Amino acid sequence: MPGARLAASSLEAWAFDQSALARWNGASWLSIALPAPTSNGAAKISGLAVDGGEVWLLAEHGRPSEGEGDERLYRWNGASWVLQASLGAYARATISSGPRGIVTSHAKGSYLALQQWSEAGPTLLAKVTQADISRWRWQLLLDRDDLLLAKNRQLFRLRF
């Protein structure tokens, strides 16, 4: 996978690009199937996060940035991808992992929702309101006490 990105923890290592996934088994890379296509089309990977043994995937189906299709969040159950949430069109979702576990940011109406995810579902951490919230795909960074959001040369720090 030329140009692949890597997501890893002390227990897991994954490589991915928009159309392929591979998992390190300790000796070699194994190809992993993408989530099943929906009526909006095949999955296109937009992000992957690993926290311990937890692996979560963001995928676009169709063209959600044009209002056709949606973005979906999946969790790896050890054998296949399980749908956790449909974030809708125009979500411009991002995913990250860190001391707070798996966290996503996505546009939801007039605000940016920051949610922590577990097998039980999401916990809303914060709502960020800004006039142009749905026009940007935000970068999400986590550290011990903060969530950092970056877009278009701006950095926002949310303290917890």
Mean pLDDT for all residues in the chain: 79
Query: Which phi and psi (to 5°) does residue 4 adopt?
Result: -70, 150
Q: What is the CATH number of the domain that holds 34?
A: 2.130.10.10
* Residues 75, 123: Cα–Cα separation, whole Å: 16
Which range of residues forms the domain containing residue 78?
A: 5-159
CB-CB contact of 43 with 34 (8 Å): yes
Q: What is the pLDDT of residue 67?
A: 66
Q: What is the pLDDT of residue 153?
A: 65
Eight-state DSSP code of residue 143: -
The tally of domains found in the chain comes to 1
* 121 vs 68, residue with greater confidence: 121
pLDDT-based confidence at residue 140 (cuts at 50, 70, 90): low
